[in-house]
């Protein structure tokens, strides 16, 4: 049986890029026509000209807070805020609610969320019985994994969350070979099984999500005979990236276009630099274009050693929303970007907030290849203009700031 889910995974990179870019203008045009929100967001955009990543990068980023705001404004007439191309009826199988609340539609296509690819990379095969411990309550997590498992040919036990004793009994009697759910709950199950002497040795593989899977916990699972992998998916986008047996980052899914941008902006960063994950999903039912996940990651160089040729990301590296309250005023990454955009000499910036509560002090540290006389003073004036707050400016040599995606660092003492 093939190691790969399909031939898309091993395409020549140039062929993949050409096919994605050929699909992009049609997708943008469809979003403008079928999703009322995108008719507004992309007003005046000539979809036929969006044929490259550079052209894509010129489009606005839609972030989750905007999705939420549009949904709140249009409920109950349109709970999806104008982003869904589906309407209630035969084409919409389910509606989900994620914290916010944010509502997501589910179409009727097979493996709608595209999770089968990640399950297959984790070793799931036809005939496996999957113990699915994601929640079946309101949110789509369990259904994302179940649809992918069915697409492969697996049988699913809908365990959900909680009721640990009953879950252990089901595992002992049904003898599942695979697990889907959070890594923390899998650990709870295995610890309880050890305490109770329950027989769960049939479990040999797992695909986890919803939380980070650190190497130490993966090794803990491995010591108990479970080969655990991680996937990166969201309720809005479905699968974004997945781990392979190489254990070197996460391979990007074939059905999305991923960009890494500087937090607070839509500007792509260089390969290896940490930034916000922005995704365009080629899903005609829910055609999200440049959707900001709010997650931080970085593109890795080269291809996966398993032979999969798509780009890879490092994995989840924190949150991009670093909005901070300083002296009673909210300052967000977009304002830092607005300041630095005024100065071509500035390559990178980081606003560091120090002091104690009610005695805040902020310093904008900037990297600049050259520092003409008066640069720091002019940047300081721009800080006051944009944020209405005073701050110091420190000019540094290129490469001085950490590569961690932080645009605002809150280093205050809260004791």
pLDDT at 415 over 80: no
CB contact at 8 A, 102 and 155: no
Mean pLDDT of 53-73: 94
**Spatial distance between the Cα atoms of 160 and 133, rounded to a whole number of angstroms:** 4
Provide the b/e sequence for 328-344 (b: ≥16 CB within 10 Å). eeebbbebbbbbbeebe
CB contact at 8 A, 21 and 51: yes
Mean pLDDT of 366-386: 91
Could you give the domains of the chain? 13-319 (3.40.50.12780), 324-410 (3.30.300.30)
CB contact at 8 A, 413 and 355: yes
pLDDT score at 100 = 82
Question: Hey, what are 42's tokens?
Answer: 């992309």
CB contact at 8 A, 63 and 269: no
Which of 59-63, 72-76, 193-197, 315-319 is predicted least confidently? 315-319
**pLDDT 10s digits, 135-187:** 999 999 999 999 999 999 999 999 999 899 999 999 999 999 999 999 999 99
**pLDDT 10s digits, 67-113:** 999 999 999 899 999 999 999 899 999 999 988 889 999 999 999 99
**Spatial distance between the Cα atoms of 260 and 183, rounded to a whole number of angstroms:** 26
Closest-CA residue to 63 (of 231, 285, 234): 234
**Spatial distance between the Cα atoms of 249 and 231, rounded to a whole number of angstroms:** 10
Mean pLDDT of 290-306: 95
pLDDT score at 46 = 98
Please tell me whether the peptide bond between 76 and the residue prior to it is cis, using omega within 30 degrees of 0: yes
Give one word for 180, left, alpha or beta, with left for phi > 0 and alpha for psi -120 to 50. beta
What is the SS3 assignment for 298?
A: coil
**pLDDT 10s digits, 245-279:** 999 999 999 999 999 999 888 999 999 999 999 99
**pLDDT 10s digits, 199-237:** 999 999 999 998 889 899 999 999 999 999 999 999 999
End-to-end CA distance of the chain: 59
pLDDT at 356 over 70: no
Question: Hey, what are 98's tokens?
Answer: 């994620």
φ/ψ of 216, rounded to 5, equals: -65, -40
């Amino acid at each position: 049986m093939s190691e790969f889910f399909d031939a898309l995974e091993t395409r020549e990179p140039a062929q993949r890029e050409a096919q994605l870019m050929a699909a992009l203008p049609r997708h943008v045009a469809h979003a403008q026509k079928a999703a009322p929100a995108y008719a507004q967001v992309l007003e005046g955009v000539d979809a036929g000209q969006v044929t490259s990543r550079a052209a894509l990068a010129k489009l606005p980023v839609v972030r989750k807070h905007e999705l939420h705001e549009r949904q709140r404004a249009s409920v109950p007439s349109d709970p999806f805020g104008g982003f869904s191309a589906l309407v209630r009826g035969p084409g919409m199988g389910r509606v989900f609610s994620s914290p916010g609340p944010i509502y997501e539609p589910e179409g009727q296509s097979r493996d709608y969320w595209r999770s089968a690819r990640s399950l297959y990379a984790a070793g799931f095969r036809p005939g496996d019985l999957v113990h699915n411990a994601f929640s079946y309550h309101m949110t789509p997590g369990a259904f994302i994994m179940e649809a992918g498992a069915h697409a492969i040919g697996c049988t699913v036990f809908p365990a959900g969350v909680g009721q640990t004793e009953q879950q252990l009994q089901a595992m002992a009697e049904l003898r599942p070979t695979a697990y889907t759910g959070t890594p923390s709950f899998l650990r709870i199950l295995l610890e309880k099984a050890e305490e109770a002497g329950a027989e769960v040795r049939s479990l040999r593989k797992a695909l986890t999500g919803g939380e980070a899977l650190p190497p130490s916990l993966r090794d803990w699972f491995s010591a108990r005979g479970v080969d655990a992998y991680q996937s990166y998916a969201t309720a809005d986008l479905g699968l974004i990236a997945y781990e392979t047996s190489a254990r070197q980052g996460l391979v990007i899914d074939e059905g999305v276009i991923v960009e890494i941008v500087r937090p607070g902006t839509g500007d792509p960063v260089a390969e290896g630099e940490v930034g916000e994950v922005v995704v365009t999903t080629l899903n005609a039912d829910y055609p999200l274009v440049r959707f900001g996940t709010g997650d931080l990651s970085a593109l890795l160089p080269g291809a996966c050693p398993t032979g999969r040729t798509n780009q890879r990301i490092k994995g989840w590296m924190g949150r991009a929303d670093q909005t901070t309250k300083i002296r009673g005023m909210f300052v967000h990454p977009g304002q830092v970007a607005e300041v630095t955009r005024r100065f071509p000499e500035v390559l990178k910036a980081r606003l560091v907030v120090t002091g104690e509560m009610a005695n805040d002090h902020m310093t904008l540290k900037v990297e600049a290849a050259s520092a003409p006389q008066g640069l720091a003073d002019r940047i300081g004036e721009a800080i006051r203009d944009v944020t209405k707050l005073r701050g110091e400016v420190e000019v540094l040599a290129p490469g001085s700031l950490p590569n961690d995606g932080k645009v605002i660092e809150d280093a205050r003492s809260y004791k």
